[in-house]
Amino acid sequence: MYRLRYFFAFALFSAAAAFMTGCDIPLGTPEERMFKAAKHDYERNMLKLLDKGINPDITDSAGWTPLMWAAAKDNVDTLKLLHLRGGDINHRNKKGETALHVAARWSRLDTIEYLLSIGARPEALDRLGWPPLMWAAMQGRTDVVIALSQGGARMNFKDTNGNTALMMAANRGRTETVKAMLELGVNPLLTNKAGQTAADVARQSKYTELAGLIEQTIKKAPPRKTTGK
C-alpha cells in the first residue's frame, strides 16, 4: 500500500514538474503538441518539433496557426522561433484575422511591437473589414493604439460604414484612448455614412463630456479636410 501511494505521489510530482518547467509533452500528436507548446511558451519543445519537420503553419479547426496562438498568449520567444522557422506572420484564420489582429484584441503590447518590427501588416482587414486598430480603439487599449500608429497604421481609416477608429473609441466612451488619438493627429471632423462625427457618436452613446472634449479639440485645432485616409 505504501509503495502504491509512493508511486502515485511520484507520478503526480513528475507531471507537475513537467508542466511547470516545460519539459517534453508526451501526449497527443506532434501537431497537437506544437499547439500546446505555442500556447504555453514551451520554446524548447517547439524547437524539437520544428527540427522533426513539423510545418510551422499547420492550422486548427478555426484556421489558427501556432504562431497566432503564441501571439494571443504574448509568448514572444516562441513566436520569434516560429517566425525564424518560416511561420507566416500575416496568415489569416477563418475570420480573416492575422496575428496582429489577435494581439491587438488581447492587448499584447510586446507581441504587437515585435510583429510590427518584422513586417506584420497593420492595414490587414479581417472579414468585418476592420484592421487591428479598430479593435484596439474600441476596447480602449491606448498603448496598443499608440504602438499601431508608430507602426504605420492608417489612423483615419474608414470601415464599410464610414466609421473610424476614433468613432469606435467614442462610441464606447474610451476617453483616454480618444485623447491619445487626438494628440496623434487623428481627424475628428470625418463623418460616417450616417453623417456623424466622432463627437456625434459619443453624444448618441450618452458620453456627453467626451463629445464636448472632442468638440473643444476641433475648436483649438486649425481647419482640416473632412475626407482622407
Q: Does one domain contain both 110 and 161?
A: no
For residue 150, the tally of other CB atoms under 10 A from its CB is 12
What pLDDT does residue 12 have? 38
* Cα–Cα distances in angstroms (integers) from residue 78 to residues 24, 49, 67, 69, in the given order: 15, 12, 8, 10
- Percentage of the chain beyond pLDDT 90 is 83
pLDDT digits (tens, 9 = 90+) for 118-150: 999 999 999 999 999 999 999 999 999 999 999
C-alpha cell at position 65: 496557426
In a domain, 139, yes or no: no
Least confident of 15-29, 123-137, 172-186: 15-29
- Sign, CA torsion 184/185/189/190: negative
In a domain, 142, yes or no: no
Rounded to an integer, the average pLDDT of 96-114 is: 98
Domain that holds residue 214: 155-222
In a domain, 228, yes or no: no
* pTM of the complete model: 0.83
Give the start-end residues of each E strand in 8-62: none
Q: Does one domain contain both 159 and 110?
A: no
Q: Does one domain contain both 121 and 179?
A: no
| Residue 202 CB partners (closer than 8 Å, separation 6+) | 170, 171, 173, 178, 208, 210, 211, 214
Q: Does one domain contain both 120 and 79?
A: yes
Total domain count for the chain? 2
Rounded to an integer, the average pLDDT of 37-46 is: 94
Q: Do 125 and 96 meet the contact criterion of CB atoms below 8 Å apart? A: yes
In a domain, 116, yes or no: yes
Q: Does one domain contain both 19 and 114?
A: yes
In a domain, 24, yes or no: yes
Q: Does one domain contain both 111 and 33?
A: yes
Q: Does one domain contain both 82 and 187?
A: no
Q: Is the pLDDT of residue 14 over 90?
A: no
In a domain, 141, yes or no: no
Q: Does one domain contain both 116 and 20?
A: yes
Domain's final residue, options 131, 166, 186? 131
In a domain, 192, yes or no: yes
d(CA 78, CA 70): 6
- Percentage of the chain beyond pLDDT 70 is 85
Q: Does one domain contain both 61 and 115?
A: yes
Domain's final residue, options 98, 131, 164? 131
Buried b (16+ CB within 10 A) or exposed e, 154-186: bbbbbbeeebbbbbbbbbbebbebbbbbbeeeb
Q: Does one domain contain both 162 and 103?
A: no
Q: Do 83 and 43 meet the contact criterion of CB atoms below 8 Å apart? A: no
Q: Does one domain contain both 86 and 193?
A: no
What pLDDT does residue 9 have? 40
Domain's final residue, options 131, 165, 182? 131
In a domain, 147, yes or no: no
d(CA 62, CA 57): 13
Q: Does one domain contain both 61 and 127?
A: yes
Task: Return the residue matching grid coordinates 509503495.
Answer: 3
CATH number assigned to the domain comprising residue 167: 1.25.40.20
